[in-house]
Amino acid sequence: MKGKIIVTGAAGFIGCNLVAELNRRGHTDILLVDALGHDEKWKNLVGLHYEDILSPDQFLRCIEQPHAPKASALIHLGACSSTTEQNADFLLDNNYRYTRTVCEWALTQDTRFVYASSAATYGDGNLGYDDAEATTLQLQPLNMYGYSKHMFDLWALRHRLFDRIVGLKYFNVYGPHEAHKGDMQSVVPKAYSQIVDRGWVGLFKSDRPEYNDGGQMRDFIYVRDVVDATLHFAKHREHSGLLNCGTGKARSWNDLARGVFSAMNRTPDIRYIDMPPTLLGKYQYFTEATTTNLRAAGYTPPFTELEDGIHDYVTNYLMTCG
């Protein structure tokens, strides 16, 4: 990619990893957009090289000006990603309307627009995990976060924008720089902390007979693979669409926990706990991306195996950085 690159949600989990990879590829003319607030998220920016950083509101005011910055790509990762957020109005403004505004601006500027959708749009998975348009139109997300993401997907479909933009439905992403997410961070650092603190890992019991305790399955994808796929589509304008971004290989929570124990050279000790009442009926028991369209759109690199990703994350980050 040549020219300025705009990254929203740049201090977040995926955002800071993406900016770091842009730096590794020689890009520093980057405009970051994020709300740093009063927490520790700013630490994700330490060591990164970029031109400037604006708050989301400042960025909106900026693009309304006649001399708004020209950019080759706008990678829109900024959103509230909490699946337990109850303020529907906030999610509509933050995840749906804001995305519409920056997308419309990018299209008027001939700026490549790539945005983060989510596997949460698939709801309970009864319709499968096919990113075809016919399936997308029928989806019923289980929470307001997933619905806010789904609303923009539907809006872009109605306006036939997916011949010009890319939406990536990220599945269960894990990797460095997610600590600021608190309870919404992946289970890998949670399991690591539990092993350090008490020597065992707690996983949810199953209330479905077809799944053993801890046997619920997700499509876990390492953040470096998500970043690579996102940058691929930011660069290659010849491919567009609403695409799954997952490995296509579901693994169990037991597999994940055993991977953390293995990376720490510990004997597995997994114990099963009751699922919180707030998650009952809203919990995905199985996710697995259909990757046919992703591959057909030109993204061909292999995905990191779960055990390899966990080992890299634990030994090269959690054990050294905390």
Residue with tokens 């902390």: 193
14 and 223 Cβ atoms separated by less than 8 Å? yes
Helix (H) / strand (E) containing 89: helix 88-91
Tell me the chain's radius of gyration from C-alpha atoms.
Answer: 19
Structure tokens, 11: 């201090």
> Residue 179 corresponds to which tokens in the numbers above?
């600590």
User: Which of 34, 166, 194 shows the shortest CA–CA distance to 185?
Assistant: 194
Selected catalytic residue, list 50, 115, 122, 145: 145
Residues 6+ apart with CB under 8 A from 66: none
Assign 3-state DSSP to the chain and report helix, strand, coil percentages, each to 5: 40, 15, 40
Catalytic entry in 43, 181, 235, 249 = 181
- Paired sense of beta strands 5-8 and 73-76, if any: parallel
3-state DSSP assignment of residue 52:
strand
What is the C-alpha to C-alpha distance for residues 263 and 312, in angstroms, rounded to an integer? 8
* 145 carries an active-site annotation: yes
Tell me the C-alpha distance between 307 and 196, whole Å.
19
CB 202 within 8 A of CB 256: no
Give the length of the chain.
Answer: 322
The residues assigned a catalytic role are 145, 181
